[in-house]
Every structure is written in C-alpha cells, then in structure tokens.
C-alpha cells in the first residue's frame, strides 16, 4: 500500500529547520499499516529519528539502542518513532525481527524526509534525530548522530527539558 503523506513545509524551508521552529506536519503509514498523524501528538513529547534503511548494520544498532532505552525514554514522557524510505512491509519485518517496542514510519516517496531536510545520497535519509515538544515545535535536533549513542542522547535531552520544566 502506498504511503499517504501530507507535508506542510517546503524542501527549502526544511533545510533550515532549527529548535524553536514548528515541526513540519505530516501523515505516514506505520509498520502496522495504520495512519500516523503528527498533529495527533499535540500535548505529547515525540522523538522522530530518521535513518537510511532498515536492516543495515547502523540502522539496526540505532533501532536496538532505542529499543533497549525505551523504558527510560517513556518514563521521561516521550514516545519514539523511526522513519525511513522503507515500505510498510519492510518496516514491519524489521520491527518484528528486532522486537522493537516503538512505531516505525514508512516514507517511500521521501516527502517527510525532504520536509525535515534529512535527504541524503540516492534519496535515503541522513541519520538525524528530532525531539518535538508538546506544542509541536522542534525542541532539539541532532545531525549525523551516532547510531549507538542516539537513544542515550535523546534521554539526556528529555531529562534536561524536565529539569527546566519545559
């Protein structure tokens, strides 16, 4: 099933995203073939991590690191969503194989990747991570993250927001 996507930002604007900017709105299909709508996350902390391709070594390390740190991230009030150009079926297979306790999003046309400015070689996503606040603004972002350390850095940033009362 083709991904249904709506993106509210242009590629030019997305290349300049920074903390404080509104997170580009979008819908995408999940690994369970349901619709994810970022707007429905209003009032909640959302971690969006972009990665090149499911099943590759770095992407597997990153997904498993988020899996292993999920309990801590959820205790900090956030939910994680991984996104790549992979199909719904590929995302489902990857999620099941590695027992991922979070949702993967399919962006086969690259519209969300373009909106967030993460497009890299051959249209694959770069490895970037965003924390979207309850007001749907970008609160934190990292480019070219280390796949092994990304989940720990996200947890640290979320702890910082809690200390600030943000």
Q: What are phi and psi of 118, to 5 degrees?
A: -100, 5
Q: Any idea which residue has 């209003």 for tokens? A: 42
CB 69 within 8 A of CB 151: yes
- Residue 64 annotated to the active site: no
Count of CB atoms situated within 10 Å of the CB of 75 = 12
Catalytic residue (one of 14, 59, 88, 154): 59
- Angle in degrees, 0-180, between the axes of helices 150-164 and 57-75, rounded to the nearest 10: 20
Residue numbers annotated as active site: 59
């Amino acid at each position: 099933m083709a991904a249904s996507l709506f993106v509210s930002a242009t590629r030019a604007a997305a290349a300049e995203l920074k903390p404080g900017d509104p997170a580009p709105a979008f819908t995408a299909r999940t690994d369970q073939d349901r619709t994810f709508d970022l707007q429905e996350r209003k009032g909640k902390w959302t971690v969006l991590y972009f990665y090149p391709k499911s099943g590759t070594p770095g992407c597997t390390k990153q997904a498993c690191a988020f899996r292993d740190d999920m309990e801590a991230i959820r205790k900090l009030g956030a939910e994680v969503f991984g996104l790549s150009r992979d199909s719904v079926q590929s995302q489902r297979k990857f999620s099941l194989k590695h027992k991922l306790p979070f949702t993967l999003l399919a962006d086969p046309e690259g519209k969300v990747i373009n909106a967030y400015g993460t497009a890299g070689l051959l249209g694959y996503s770069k490895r970037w991570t965003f924390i979207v606040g309850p007001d749907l603004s970008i609160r934190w972002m990292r480019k070219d993250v280390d796949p092994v350390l990304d989940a720990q850095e996200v947890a640290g940033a979320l702890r910082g927001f809690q200390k600030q009362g943000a």
